[in-house]
Amino acid sequence: MSDTAPLAVCFGEGMVALVAAAAGPLEDCRTFHRSLAGAEWNTAIALASAGIRAAVISRVGDDGFGRFLTAELRAHGVDDTAVETDADAPTGLYVKELTALSDGTVGGIMHYYRAGSAAAALSPQTLTAPAAAALLADAALVHTSGITPALSPSALAAQESLYAEPHPDRLLSFDVNWRPALWRGREEEGRRIVSDFVRRADIVFCTRPDAEAVFGTSDPRELRALFPQPRHLLITDARGAVAFDGAEMAESDAIDTPVVETIGAGDAFAAGFLAGVLAGLSLTGSLARGHRIATRALVSTRDHVD
């Protein structure tokens, strides 16, 4: 793609997913398939698939899993030059246990092994390293989520630094991605931190269940009243999305498509919408692009699109 195309930088944790080869309890599963995971990394890959220049700023361990993750980014056309390698801390991973649902789809239960990972050591210094600083200087958009500030105080400080100074030529995108396990015992602090990022972002994505858990309502108009600051506010569920562009509101239905598993579809939807915004599409055009790319994440048990 052209070097003059807008650059989207995704900042956050990359992980290796070990996905059970068949539905059933982990103790009965002998085979697992390895794949890339991590909300912001999934979004970067989907952005690249939509023709947007995409890059990731992150950290991985100096191990085989870390090398696998960066190789996957490159294979999908995502710039990995600002992914640091930690000589001591490992790459985080999770195991996805599959369950067969009554409607014929597959449900995923995640078991995380990320404590003390390289990504947990993200810090403001990660962003001032030469490769990361160069990407941020060129970025038309920076995408973040509510996962990163939950990882550690230094990761929170890093994300805060991205939002601290105004950049009129750079959009800030924030996906709520509420993870209760990461905020356990400090839920109110988490709600305050996430709400603050919502207010300072230009584009915000939130599922209805996350909105209910964090903000106490999933009604789109009530959420818009609570958060008038972002230009774009999107509330999503399996049926579709409600989106705001300033005072304008649009509703759109998800595309009817066979579903294998839903994990990762939200990241793909966000990427499609962001690609539409960067391409200058209308609100409805950006929504349609989001739904089209989301369908590509629904047809496999991987978290990212091919």
> Would you name the residues annotated as active-site residues?
267
Three-state helix/strand/coil letters over the chain: CCCCCCEEEEECCCEEEEEECCCCCHHHCCCEEEEEECHHHHHHHHHHHCCCEEEEEEEEECCHHHHHHHHHHHHCCCEEEEEEEECCCCCCEEEEEEEECCCCCEEEEEEEECCCCCHHHCCHHHHHCHHHHHHHHHEEEEEEECCHHHHCHHHHHHHHHHHHCCCCCCEEEEECCCCHHHHCCCHHHHHHHHHHHHHHCCEEEEEHHHHHHHHCCCCHHHHHHHCCCCCEEEEEECCEEEEEECCEEEEEECCCCCCCCCCCHHHHHHHHHHHHHHCCCCHHHHHHHHHHHHHHHCCCCCCCCC
